[in-house]
Structure formats: C-alpha cells, structure tokens
Structure 1
Amino acid sequence: MRIWRFTCFSLFFGIFLSSVTELTGSAELSIAVEPDTTILINSAHTNTQCTVCIRQDTQQLCQSSAVLRSDTRLVFNCSQPENVFTVQIIRDNVMYNIEPKEHNAFLKFNRTFIWNLKPPDKKTLHLNFSSTGLQQIQPTDSCPDKHVYMLAVDNISVGRFCQNGTIRQVDVCNVGKLSLEVSGGRALDEKVIGVSLGPLINSLANFHVVLPERSSTQDFFTPVAFPENAETVWYFTVPQAYYTDVRILSYTVPACLQPENIPTMKYTWQGKEPLVKLMNVSQPSVEPGNFNLSIKNCRLSGPQPPSQDLMVRFQISAIKRSKGQCEGDLPEKQVLQIRVNKKDPKSTCVLKLDSVMMDTITIASGNHFVLNSFDCNKDEVELTVNQTIECKEWRDCASTPFPLTFIYEQQCIPGVLKTIIWHLHGPQNSAVELQSPAGSLRYCPPEDKCNSIILLNVAHVNSSITLGQYCPMGTIQKIQIRESKIAITASVTSFNDRNLATKPFLTYSFTQAISEHYIFTVAPKMDNPTVLATPAWPSGMKASSTVSWIVNLEPQFKSNVKFRNVSQPKCKEVHTNIAVQTIRSQTTLYSTKRDEKIKDLLVPESFYLNMTNCKSPTGAFRAMMEVTLQNSTNELLGIILSIVGVVLVIVTAVGICFFLRKKKRNKAPPVSVYNPSEHAFLPGLHGIPKAQEEEEDPHTYVYIDETLIYSHLLKDDDEKEEYEEATADESDLKLDYSPLNNPALAERPVREGENLVTKSSALIDNELYGCAQGQSTTSDSPKRRGAMKQDRVCEGNSPD
C-alpha cells in the first residue's frame, strides 16, 4: 500500500515538474529578416500559457503570436516553444527564381515557406520544378521527406505535392501562392524553383508532366472547390515507344445551369481532332505520343454543397509496348467478314480499330481499316472468318464440285485462324452435295473427340438446326441435303500454319432437289465400326423429315447393323419408320412396327437404311447405329478346307498302303517254276497268257534252282556243304529278282532256220550241260567251283 502511494506521488510530481519547467523556463532567439520577407509566429494551441516576447530596448512585449519584418530578438517564456508555436516565412512579389533559405533559429519549429506570386498584367508565371519534380497527392496525405508543396491561385487550392514526381512545370496567370511545409527538426531542402514569364493563359493552372522512360502510374486531382466555368489543363510528354492509358478513379459532377455543358474530359493529340469523353465512359487507352487533357467546369445552376463540387481523380499509366499495324481493304466481291477477338480480356494485349480500343474487332468487305495491336502474342488473338458463297440462278452454278477454301490475303492481321464459316446459298429448291477431298468423313458425336485438328459442323441457316459434326478420314463418302442454304463451320484446334486454310476442307456443288431430306453415302471399313446417327443428334429429327443411308459393301463382306440408341416418339397418326432393304436383290430385311423392340441385323450385301419421322411427334425421334463388317467367305472357306483335309487324308492312306504292299512284295523269296506246258507266264501276273504263234521248245524254263536238280549228285556231306556255301552269295543276289523290274537280256542275232525260242533253249542247254562238250559257261567264281564239281561228275558218268 505504501509502495503504491509512493509510485503515484512520484508520477504526479514528474508531470507537474515538466509542466512547470515548460512554463517557467525560457528561450531567447536572434532572428534576421530579409527584405520583402515577413515572419509570422503563431501558437498552435489555443489554451497555452507560453508566449513569445519581442524585446525592444528595455521594453518587452509578450503575446501569443508575433510578426517580424526586421531583425528581432525573441524570448519565449517556455523552454520548448517548438511544441507550441509554428513559423511562417513569407516572401512577397515573387517574379524571379525562388531560392529557399533556412533560418537556423527555427530549425526545430514546424515552418512554412510561402512565396506570393503576382505576375504582371497579361502575363503568366512559369514555375519550373525540374530540380525537384512534383507529385500530386490528396489533401490529407503527407510526404515521406516531410516536405509538402501547396499551390493556390486566387485563394483556391490547386493541389498538394511531394517532391520527386513527374510534374516539371506549373503555370499560373493570376495572383497565386506557393507554400512549402517543413516539419520541425527536418532541414530545408534548398532546391531552386525557376520562375519565368510567359504569355497569358485562359485556364486556372496548367501542369506540365514528363512521364519517365519506364512503366509508371501517376494520380492527378482537380482543384479543391473548383470554381464554376474554370478550366485546368495537363500537358503530358510521353517517351518514344510508350503508350498511355487514362482511367478515372472517382469523380463528382455538379448541377449545371445548362445540362448539355456537363463537365467532360477533352483530349488533344498533335495532328488529330480533339476527343471528348464523358466521365462515365471508358477513357482513351494505349495512345502513343504527347497529348493534352483539359477539364472545364460548367456554369452552376445555383449554390452547391461542397460534396457536389466538381472533383475528378484520374490515373495516367505509361507502358512501353511493341506495336503492330495492319491497314488495308477486304475485297467486296468475296463477301468476307473477319472478327479479331482477344481471348483473355485481362491480358496486356490491346487491339485498336481506327484509334478505338476494343476486345473484339470486326472487319467487313468493302471497308478500309487500320488495325493496331500492342503487346499481342500470336496465341492471344483468335480470328473468325465468315464467307458467303451465293448462287441465285442455275446458269451461274456449275455442277462440278467447288473447293471450300479461304485465301488469306491480309497476312498482317494478328492472331491465329480459329474458325471459318461458309454460308452456301444456292438456287431455290436446290440441294447441296458435300464431299471430302481426302476421300471420306467420319461422323463425330458431340460427346466424342475428333482425332484431327479440323472439326466440321454442318447446319441449316434458316432454322439453325445442326446436321452433325464430322472429322476427316472416315467412311462417309457423300452428304446430300435438301436445303438451298446451309452453313459449314471449320473449327481448328491447332492452326499455327495459315497456309492450311488454302487447302480445301470440303467440296460443294448445288444439285436438283433430292427425294429425301438427307442422304448419306457410306462405305464401311473392316478395321473400325462405322457410327451413324440421325441428323441433329442428340436432339430429335424434325417432324416429317426423312433420312437415308446408302451403305455400300464389297462382295466379300457382310455387315452387322447394331442399333445402339433409339428413341421413339408418340405419334398421332402415321408412326415413325425404320427400314433396311438390300440394294441388289431389293429385299426388305427389316421394317419397324409400332412399339416393337428393334433388333440387330446381319445384312449380306449393300443396303439402304431409311428412317422417317411422323408429322406431329410428342418427344424426340433419334437413333444411333453401328455398322461392323464381317468377312462373308469364312464359312465357304471352312467347307473348302474340310474337303481338302479329307482328300489329303485319303491320298495319304492310299500312298501308305501302296508303299507297304510294294515293300512286302520286294521281300518275297524268288521261286523257280517248271512249266511243262507250251504256255509260259510270269508269276504274279493276272489273266490268261496268249499262245505262242510259233513253235516253242517245251523245255523252256524261266528259272531253275540248280540245288534242287543236282544236289543228289554230291557224294558226301562235305561237298554238299561246300557247294551250299558257294551258292549262298549267288542266291542272295537273286533275292531281289523280279521279272517285272529286272533288266532284259541282250538280244542275239537269230540264225536262219532258228527262232528265238529254240535259240534260247539251246543256250540254256549249253549252260546247263556244257560238261558234255567239255566247256564252261561261268567265270572264276564260287559258281565256277561248283561247275568244276559238275564236270567231275560228268566225267564219271561218261561212257568212255
């Protein structure tokens, strides 16, 4: 408790002591005053006991304020007068350079340097702030360096400024006042302000602004309590290759005596007509070169409250930009319209047509245009081209297909060519025939993606009904539409090369009216199924409309038609119809009935697929089909292969049997046959042998095994065994004997009186019985040794 009382007492005593020190202390200053200069010392606080005293000789006059016009000694009856008093140093009749000078005695005081400006009659004072540069601020703002300039003309505040800005000069024609507020303790920045005389101006004040050679943004304000019928002008100097944008941040407009004279923003560029803009509209943007901006107040209808005075706060931005310019004319005969669109409105890219900034610019045939682009990359701008191709009379329409192309003559127009729209207008009651130069088109449902950079959309012009969208490289060879006016849109996903536009997207021709509303000629392929859909999918077909698909198949193929999605409406009278009919045989394979579920079909040849909507449908009639090819030769090929397989098996079996039989026949041992009859035949031959026409020897033998005839003549077993060994080799050589395949004996000449049979029998007798004549018919061989034994036998049996 005692400690708390002591603390409170100490705090109160300190406050009291400081107050007594401020009030009871004193400070004495010696002030030197220059000619044409007045120093005002005023108390900043109304309730204060500190006074300033002017000492003159022995007398001292103390007041709450003082006015000094000559050298004076000042005495303050407080120790810190800088906290109580402010100092104003005023210089009158300034027409030459302003050279601010510091008064060191007042360094600690908040001081204001004031220069009263009074130009001669019909002259204007030019205040040059090139050494400092001014930046306009709001009335309640302060400056970082504690130096605040204020300019007033005829007691009207023109503005407050800080140093290091873009305002280089201010012109005033009437009596004015330039003030510089410097905070206490801050040394005065003694930069010279040039003053010169110039011709008389009609405005309240002129500001000369020099924008720096870098991207910058400056705010400017109209004078506070803007007098009626008064004008303020800003002169902007813009660096080369820099472009300015003007933006109004806030404004108030008074009630004018004449509403048509409402205050406006008036812009003037060298060599151009003045441009006047209201406060509530967009102001000029991306403008090159120096320009003037003037704001003039109107004559007021009566006294206005301060909140309704004219006040405008605007912003000037300067940016260095790269500029592109395109100037030309679109040929009128082509009926072209090019729309240049900026993709991102927030992009720094700027498009201007005839000095008017736009996000979307439209250029039409027959008009001269000047298109400027600033800081626009190629991908930031898209081009949409509309071209109308019209043929009113048949004599002017050629029946041969014409290509749909776009000859891009204006290469200087920036951007990427994104969309081309052709409007085809043919004769009345005509039809349009479309084909792809690449060979075929592919139907692309809205939910699918096109596998190409080009997507084609076909629609009716009058009803805006979309027939469908298509991609290149498909199975649709031709599209026929019973409509004289259609629109074809080519949307390009990646069109970096504009020369692609010169290549034909489609070919078109106008023909006589067709029986159906739509006819599609389709040639399916084996690799991928072909998707077909009714026109305007996924929306329904138009009432009473008809569509036909002519599906052409190669002879070796058949098709499977699958109905993926079919929606049937409710009809009052005639129901919708879906029919499938073959082309060659004219056979109706399918025709729907009411409320019948549609089944998939297998069509063996080319066919028609026809659909008809009813007159007054309730609901949508739409269908999506899928055509898949199958090879029709698969079954026949299976039958042929089966027959060939059976034949091969039979041939193989017969060949094996023949081979085994022949091998068995070759392995059979040779057989000697004695034929006592007159007819000789070979073993194994069938049929009755023919009789010899000539006389034959009855003792003719085909083959005689000697061992069967002469083996009994052998004397003992040793000789018999030796003979058998000797004839074994010879018997082996004869195992393969066959009367059908052994070579024939060489023919000998037939003697006179002999025939072939008697000659052969004689030869055999000689070979068999040569022992009687003492001759041998064999060579030196195992057989020869047998023959020698036979000779010995013969000799033993000889009568001699």
Structure 2
Amino acid sequence: MGGRSRGWAAGPLPLPLLLAGLLQLGAAAQVGRWTEVEISLPPGDNITVFVKRGTLTWPTNLCNIIFQRRRLPSLIIKRGEKAVFTFECSDPEKHYVLEVQKNIDCMSGPCPFGEVQLLPSRLPALNRTFIWNVKASPKVGLELQFSSPRLQQIRPGETCPDLVTYSISSSVEKTAVNIGTFCSNGTVSRIKMQGGVKLALYLPWNENRNFSGFNITNRSSIRRLCIIESVFEGEGSATLMSANYPDGFPEDELMSWQFVIPPHLRASVSFLNYTLSNCEKKEERVEYFIPGSLTNPEVFQLGDKQPGNMAGNFNLSLQGCDQDFQNPGALRLLFQVLVQYPQSEGNKVYTVNLSNERAMSLSIEPRPLKTSRRFVPACLICEGPTRCSSNLTLTSGNKYEISFLCDDLTRLWIIAEKSISCTDIGYCSRKSYQLLVPSDIIQLPVELRDYTWKLFVPKDKISLQMSPAQKLQQHTHDKNCETTFSYMLSSAVQGQNLYFGSFCPGGSIEKIQVKTNISVVLRTFSPGFFNESFRQGMNVTFIPSFKDEGIFTVTPDSKAKVYLRTPNWDRGLPPLTSVSWNISVPHDQVAHLTFSKERMGVSCETGRAFMIIQEQKAKAEEIVSRDDEPLPKPRDLHHNFWVNISNCSPMQGKQLDLQFCVSLTPRKMDMMVIILAAVGGGSTLLFALGLLICYAKKSKNKKDSKEPAVGIYNGNINTQIPGKAGKFQKGRKENDSHVYAVIDDTMVYGHLLNGSNGSSTSPEVDVYRPFQGPMGDRPPSPPPICSRISTKKLHPEDPRPFLLSESDGEPYTFSHPKTVALKGNEDNGIPLLEKKEPEEVME
C-alpha cells in the first residue's frame, strides 16, 4: 500500500524526460546495429586478422570491443575461425585499426601466382593494412607487377595524397631491407626481388577499394638485390632512391633500375643527394647501359655529372663495396630522371670558343621563374652528347660543344665575367682593350643577363678612359633608356661605394674617364639584344692619373636635351668626392644649362660642397656655388665649358645629388651686328694697309740707322735726361727708342710698378683669382680638402676663430710674388713707365 502510494505520489514522467529516454534507447540500438561486424576466415587460407587499438592516444575507456558479451581491448581471428563483435562507440575508426596478414610459402609448394585478392571481404570501416609475407629460396626471383595505376616512390616522412600506400621490403640473409614506399599514379610498373618479399598495403578507413593492384609472378634469378622498372609514356619525372634510404645501402650489394623511354623523347639523370661509405675492397660506382653507346657499361662515380639527353631505354645500376667494419659509413643515393622533348629536331649543337680569352668565366644557369604547372620539364645544358646538367660553367682557354635539352629556353640566362689588369704602366699605356661580348656567346639561343668586365690599375699611378662605340645616354627619371641593353658603371675598389650610373647607346656622352678600378656591367633587358649587339663595344685605354673620381666628356645633340646627374643618385655622392663634365658647344650654337633644383640640398658636417661652372676660354669667369648658396639660374654658354661638383663630408640623411640639363639652340646674330661687322671689316682692311706702309717706312729707317727692332726693349739706349746734344740729336718725340709694338695689360709689367715707399706693390694674398691656364684638358679644381671650413656650430661663449670675409674666405689660388727693386733716378717730368729702365726683367 505504501509502495503504491509512493509511486502514485511521483506521478507520470514529464514529456521532455520521456522523449529523452526514448532517444537514448534508439541511439543505443543504432550504435549496436552500426558497429556489429562478422569476420569469417576459411581454413585453407593462411590468414590472420588483428583488430587492435590504433596509435592515437585516445582514452582507452571510451571504446572497447564487445565479443561474446565481454569487453576486450583487441581481438585476433585465425584461419578457420568466425567472429561476430561490436564496438561500444559510434566512431571506432578513431580508436581501432585492422591488420590482415597472409603468409605465402613458395619453398614447400607452388606459389599462388597471379592477381592478389583482398581477403577477407566486408571488413569494418577501419584503417586497414594488408600484409603479404612471401617466402622463397634465395636463388628464386619474384616479380611484383603493378598494372594501373603504376607506383610513385616517395621519400621517408612523406605521405600519399589519397593515403593509399605501398611499402615493399626484401630480405638479405634474414635481414629485412626496405626497398621503398610508394603511392599511386607514378611510373614504377614492376619490382623484381631475389628471395623473400614482404608487401604491405595501407588503406584509410573511408577507402572502399576491393583490389590489391598487383600480381606476383615467378622469375629466374636476378643475381642482385632488386630491379625496379620505370615506364614513361610522355614527358614527366620520377624520383627514386637506393634501398634502405636514408639508411645505408646493404654492404656489397647491387641494385638496378630499368627505364622505358619513348624514342621521340630524351631522358636525363641528376643526383639530388648521395653519400659514400668507407670501402675496404672494391669501389662504389654507378653503371649505365645506354643505347647506341660503344663503351657499355659506362661507369661513373657518384660525384660525376650523370648522363643526359639519352634517347631510348637505358639501365642504371648502383654497386656497393666491402665496408670498413669499425667505421662502415653509409652509401645512399637519391636521384631524379627527367623525360622531355628535345629543344629541336636533331638537337642543334653550338660551338663556344674561349681558347683566345683570358681570365674569363661564363655560366649558363636557370633564371628565377615561378610556375604553376604540375610537371615542369627541366632546362638542361649538355656538354657533349650525354653530359647534361641544370648549370654549366665555361672557362677561358677552352673550346666547347654544347646543346640544350629544354622546352623553353627563356628559363635560362647567361652570366659572364672577365678581368683586365694593368701591372706594367709602360706596357698598358701603349695598349687598348675592347669591352666586347664575343660573337660565340651572342649566337647562343639563351638570353645574356650580365657580362661584367673588372678593370684594375695601380692606385694613383694610372687611370682609365672608356670610349664607347656609340655615344651614351645616362639613364635618368626625365629620360629613360629604351634600348635592349645598358652599361652599369661602379667602382671596383674594395670599400668604396660609388655607382656612376646606368648608360645606354643613343646619347651624347662620348668618353668616360675614371680615376681607379671600375666594374663595367653590360646588362640586357630583352631577347632583342641579338639584333642590337652591333651597338655594343667600348674601347679602354690607360691615361695618366687625375684627381677627380670621374670625368665625362659630353657632346650634346642639337635636336635633344641632355640630362646628366651625379653618381650614387639614390644614396648621394660619397664624401669628399669630385666629378666633372666636359661639355662641348659648337661654334654656331648656344648651350642652355639648367639645374633641376634651386639648391644642392646637402648639409655638410665638415668642409664645403662646391659647384663650379667655367667656360673654356681665356680669362673665363668661374661661376661658383657653395652648399649654403643657391645654384645658378638657367644660363646660356657660348663656349665649351666645365661643370665640376665636389662634395663635403655630409651629415647623415642630407646627401648631395644633382641633376642638370643641357640643350643647344642656334646662335642668333641681328642685322646691326652684321652691318657693324661689315663696316668694321672694311675699316680693318684700310687700317691694315696703313700699318703695312708705316711698317715699311720704319723698316727702311731702321736699316739706315741700325736701331733695334720695334717691340724689343733696347737696353743700350742712354737714359740720361735729354738736353745734351752729344747724346740726343733729336727730341724725345722724334726718337723711336721708347716705341713698343704691343702693351697689352699693365699686368705684363706689373712688377715694375713702384709704391710710394719705393717698394714693389704685391697682389693681395688669399684672394680668389680665376683660372687662367690652358682649358679643356683638366676641369677646374675645387679648394683643397684641408682648406674647407668646418660647418660645425660653435658655442656662444667659445672664442670665434679668425675668418676671412665671405668673399675671400674660400681661396682658390694663393699668390706670393717676390719684391723687385728698381734702379735709377726719379724724374717727375717723365711718365711712370719711362723712368729709368731696370737692368733685369724678372718673370
């Protein structure tokens, strides 16, 4: 009564709880139905099935095998047995794996040759591994045939895309040897082994395959560890490796690979990785049987370049040696076989003759290209018929016959370098060199990337002068080079970061002089260099050393503007560096000079930066701008002129980079000038005739009186005061002793001028004087480095150093003339130049 009351008091279950209970019962029934498995093994097959926990570290209490109402962690089913079991979890594939082992004895009875079946069938959806152990006599060869898809060998640690994996091993004197791990979709069609074989096929839990994919057949003895056959039906590649890779190859064993290649394709072998063991007897090597070879087998060391460009089937064998017992080492080999179409029918051969070259090397190598194709045929360069590789280096003094095994030669380029040194100044000064890419290199069907000439000269003893075959244009932002190649000039002095710039044909620069070692790089930008190669070439001569780092000789074109800029444009002119431009102006043209900015833009830590413009004519005025002054406004120049730019020691971040432009326009002459010139010409003619008549008369008088020639100082004339008839029969006006042909400037006899105190008047010391020497050979010189005033700021309380005025504070030349004493009595009635003549004129 009481129990009934308690049940009634509880009342019926709420609807949510009732539904939850029904769902749990249904789920339990569903789990039981999903995981129930029946495996039955016939008594005739030597098969054993293992159901065991996988390698994942799941908690062991989450899932167990329920067999005959018992919870078991694993289950073994032998031949002739039947087992029905379930899993107590809905995802047994996460906890369990299944392994099927089948032993095949070919020693006591006939082998079951033919296609290998996957037995037993209807296995649970677990990760499955089928293992076949085949026992055979060591003198019997067994062959595993893989129809479709063929196999692809993978390296240790790699996984197959579909996770379907074959693992094949053999045995040598009861020692297991791993032949390799393979995936589907490859080139390996057969594997022949001597003696026993173990093959394992791994299938993931969601793979529904019901076939093994291989057959077993019997073959005669192969007398080696194994033979792997690789069949190519078109272009492709295969990566293969020695047995036990990456562990050592078995001692004194032999392993072979057979390659089946379509006759219209070519095959090449390249070793990706190898090591050698320590041999006591014999020698480790590889042997090739190449169709058409007269020296089969061809023997190569593992460090040699391996054959390439092979047509037809060929074999490759790896031979081990007797190893040192105490320190055996390890023989291992990883290699690749590339099969592809040749470059052209007949595979054209190119001759590269470098026998007359000196200190030169040339490399043909792959250029860095990105590609998305699954298979990318290799670009190989072959030296001779079969020696092929992805890189080839040619050296001077030799002659080469090369060919290409490549579907796209734009994937290769050429990089070459040549050194020219001058050690004997006398010999170099009489010799010139041509910077010219040899025609044998230009004719190759591969793009020339860089050809570098490195020119070396003794420091401060000799300099270099380069004259291009065609005048050059400097590459600037305002005018880009549009040719297929250009020259890049930079200093080759160690530690000197000086890049002169990039130059291409079609400009106005006809000569470049550099102070010391330089690197000249001819760089191409398109395959069209072959058609423009006639524009290349540069003649190098050796000249006396000069002070500037570089001098550019420019002859502008009247139809185009010339843009020029300082070296190291992106980084700034190096400290204390001077560069000059010698710019020619035709006599019927006027040059217009313009700078790209108003100031130099450099901040000097020590010294001063200068920009100097000077026309190449007598008494030419120098136009000078310092770093703290504006640059000259655009101006016209009527004569050849120099532009010199000299740097100070700049502060960090404030560098010197200048660009200027030169353009030519016809020189204008108005009608008034022409008329005046004509009138002046007539007057000049009449004046010349008068002078001629006068000169004739004077010559006659001089012949009669035997007086000295006009324009020559007569030191024998008595200089006493006139009045004594015995000495002067004529007055001074009628006497010719004071006549000079030309007195051009008072500076000619400036040393005869006397001061009020009787001493000579000297020019002011430390005052800038314009350059008056010969023009054109050397640029105007900036102030010496030691005289450049520091721009370092002074403390207000520090004493100010003695400074000249701003106009005189940066001297260019220093004049210190000697004092000249004059002899004679003064006569205030005689002009200054007609006082007593000196006994000696000093120059």
Instruction: Give the distance between the partners of 1:548 and 1:391, measured in 2 at CA.
Output: 26
1:651 matched to which residue of 2?
Answer: none
Indicate the residue corresponding to 1:429 in structure 2: 461
C-alpha displacement of 1:627: 3.1
Match of 1:129 in 2: 145
Structure 1 position 626 matched with structure 2 position 661: yes
| CA distance, structure 1, for counterparts of residue 433 and residue 31 of structure 2 | 106
* SS of alignment partner, residue 573 of structure 2: coil
Q: 1:370-421 CA deviation, whole Å, 9 max, x = no partner? A: 7564325333222233334556556655879875432322567441123333
- 8 Å Cα contact 2:602-2:627 kept in structure 1: no
The match for 1:543 is 576
Q: Is the 8 A contact 2:166 2:199 kept in 1?
A: no
The one-letter code sitting in structure 1 at the alignment partner of 2:413 is: E
**Where does residue 215 of structure 1 map in the other structure?**
236
Shift of 1:32: 9.7
How far, CA to CA, are the matches of 2:565 and 2:661 in structure 1? 9
1:237 matched to 2:259? The reply is yes
Contact 2:116–2:214, Cα closer than 8 Å, also in 1: no
- In structure 2, relative to structure 1, the CA distance for the partners of 1:292 and 1:577 (3 Å cut) is same
Change in 2 beyond 3 A, CA 1:612/1:142: closer
Give me the whole-angstrom Cα distance separating, in 2, the residues matched to 1:498 and 1:623.
35
Indicate yes or no: 2:492 matched with 1:458.
no
| 1:337 corresponds to | 361
Identity percentage over the alignment? 13
Partner amino acid for 2:317? N
> Hey, what's the Cα distance between the residues in 2 that align with 1:77 and 1:571?
94
1:112-132 alpha-carbon deviations (Å, 9 max, x no partner): 896753327xx2323363778
The amino acid that maps onto 1:195 is N
> Quick check: 1:95–1:125 contact (8 Å CA) kept in 2?
no
Of 600, 606, 618, 1:566 maps to: 600
User: What is the CA distance between 1:343 and its match in structure 2?
Assistant: 1.8
Residues 235-293 of structure 1, C-alpha deviations (whole Å, 9 max, x = no match): 232415343667989x9x9xx9x9999xx99754344444448xxxx998978543235
Question: 1 CA distance for matches of 2:160 and 2:473?
Answer: 71
Distance 1:104 1:199 in 2: 28
Inter-partner Cα distance in structure 2 for 1:103 and 1:353? 47
Indicate if the aligned counterparts of 2:142 and 2:218 stay in contact, CA closer than 8 A.
yes
Q: TM-score, normalised by structure 2?
A: 0.53
Instruction: State the alpha-carbon separation in 1 of the partners of residues 593 and 565 from structure 2.
Output: 16
2:512 to 463, 479, 488: 479
Q: Which residue of 2 aligns with 1:600?
A: 633
Give the aligned residue type for 2:450.
Answer: T
What is the rounded CA distance, in whole Å, between the counterparts of 1:514 and 1:576 in structure 2?
20
Pair 375,584 (structure 1): closer, same or farther in 2 beyond 3 Å: same
Shift of 1:507: 3.6
Post-superposition CA distance 1:703-725 (Å, at most 9, x none): xxxxxxxxxxxxxxxxxxxxxxx
Give the 3 Å change call, closer, same or farther, for CA 420–100 of structure 1 in structure 2. closer
1:116-155 to structure 2, matched below 5 A, reads: 116-119=134-137, 123-127=139-143, 129=145, 135=151, 153=171, 154=174
Q: Which residue of 2 aligns with 1:498?
A: 530
The separation in 1 between residues aligned to 2:211 and 2:522, in whole angstroms, is 72
CA distance 1:626–1:266, shift in 2 (3 Å): same
Other-structure match for 2:473: 442
TM-score computed with the length of structure 1 as normaliser = 0.55
Report the Cα distance in structure 1 between the residues aligned to 2:123 and 2:595, rounded to whole angstroms.
Answer: 98
- Number of the residue aligned with 2:218: 195
Q: For 1:290, which of 315, 326, 329 is the aligned residue? A: 315
Q: CA deviation at 1:198?
A: 1.8
Q: Which has the higher helix share?
A: 1
Instruction: Tell me the residue number matched to 1:418.
Output: 449
Structure 1 residue 588 displacement after superposition: 0.7
Correspondence for 2:614 among 566, 569, 581: 581
**Contact map agreement 1:206 1:232 (CA 8 A) in 2:** no
* Structure 2 residue 343 is matched with structure 1 residue 319: no
Correspondence for 1:350: 379
Task: Using the TM superposition, give the Cα deviation of residue 469 of structure 1 relative to its aligned residue in structure 2, in angstroms.
Answer: 3.0
Q: Is the 8 A contact 2:256 2:317 kept in 1?
A: yes
What CA distance in whole angstroms lies between the structure 2 residues aligned with 1:173 and 1:529? 82
SS in 1 for 2:261: coil
Do the aligned partners of residues 6 and 102 (structure 1) sit closer, same or farther apart at CA in structure 2, a change above 3 Å counting? same
Cα–Cα, structure 1 residues 435 and 367, in superposed 2: closer, same or farther, change >3 Å? closer
Counterpart position of 1:365: 396
Q: Distance in 2 between matches of 1:175 and 1:272?
A: 31
1:408/1:501 contact within 8 Å kept: no
Unaligned runs of 5+ in 2: 1-12, 53-64, 70-75, 87-97, 290-296, 676-843
Q: Counterparts of 1:152 and 1:554 in 2: how far apart (Å)? A: 93
Q: CA deviation at 1:450?
A: 1.3
SS in 1 for 2:440: coil
**The residue matched to 1:479 in structure 2 has which SS?**
strand
* 1:129 aligned partner, one-letter code: Q
What is the rounded CA distance, in whole Å, between the counterparts of 1:504 and 1:559 in structure 2? 30
What are the Cα deviations for residues 639-677 of structure 1, in whole angstroms up to 9, with x where unaligned? 99xxxxxxxxxxxxxxxxxxxxxxxxxxxxxxxxxxxxx
- 1-structure distance, mates of 2:158, 2:667: 93
| 1:220/1:313 contact within 8 Å kept | yes
1:523 is displaced (CA, Å) by 3.6
Computing the radius of gyration from Cα coordinates, the structure with the larger value is 1
Secondary structure, aligned partner of 2:480: coil
Q: State the distance in 2 between where 1:185 and 1:558 align.
A: 87
CA distance in 2, matches of 1:219, 1:329: 37
**Contact kept in structure 1, 2:469 and 2:535, CA below 8 Å:** no
The code of the aligned residue for 1:119 comes to S
CA distance change for structure 1 residues 141 and 406 in 2, over 3 Å: closer, same or farther? closer
In structure 2, how many angstroms separate the alpha carbons of the residues matched to 1:562 and 1:140?
Answer: 64
Say if 1:398 and 1:44 are closer, same or farther in 2 by CA, change over 3 A.
closer
The equivalent of 1:531 in structure 2 is 563
Where do residues 394-405 of structure 1 align in structure 2 (5 Å cutoff)?
A: 396=427, 404-405=435-436
Cα 1:412–1:613 change in 2 (3 A) is: closer
Quick check: 1:86–1:109 contact (8 Å CA) kept in 2?
no
- DSSP-derived class of the 1:488 partner: strand
In structure 1, C-alpha distance between the alignment counterparts of 2:536 and 2:278, rounded to whole Å: 59
- Give the drift of 1:365: 0.4
CA distance in 2, matches of 1:293, 1:457: 49
Letter of the 1:337 counterpart: S
Q: CA RMSD in A?
A: 6.2
Contact kept? 1:229, 1:298, Cα under 8 Å:
no
Give me the whole-angstrom Cα distance separating, in 2, the residues matched to 1:185 and 1:596.
87
1:564-618 per-position Cα deviation (integer Å, ceiling 9, x unaligned): 3524554756x55444333345331523468433332534520433536378666
Query: 2 CA distance for matches of 1:419 and 1:190?
Result: 53
Q: CA deviation at 1:491?
A: 2.6
Match of 2:415 in 1: 384
Q: In structure 1, what is the equivalent of residue 554 of structure 2?
A: 522
Contact 1:96–1:196 (CA under 8 A) maintained in structure 2: no
> 1:659 — aligned with what?
none
1:470 aligns with 2:506: no
CA deviations 1:215-250 (Å, max 9, x no partner) are 35577795699899566835232415343667989x
Alpha-carbon displacement from aligned partner over 1:48-67 (angstroms, at most 9, x marks no partner): 459xxxxxxxxxxxxx9777
The SS at the match of 2:220 is strand
The residue number in structure 2 matching 1:305 is none
Contact 2:382 2:405 in 1 (8 A): no
Give the 3-state SS of the residue equivalent to 1:409 in structure 2. helix
- What residue identity is the alignment partner of 1:626? C
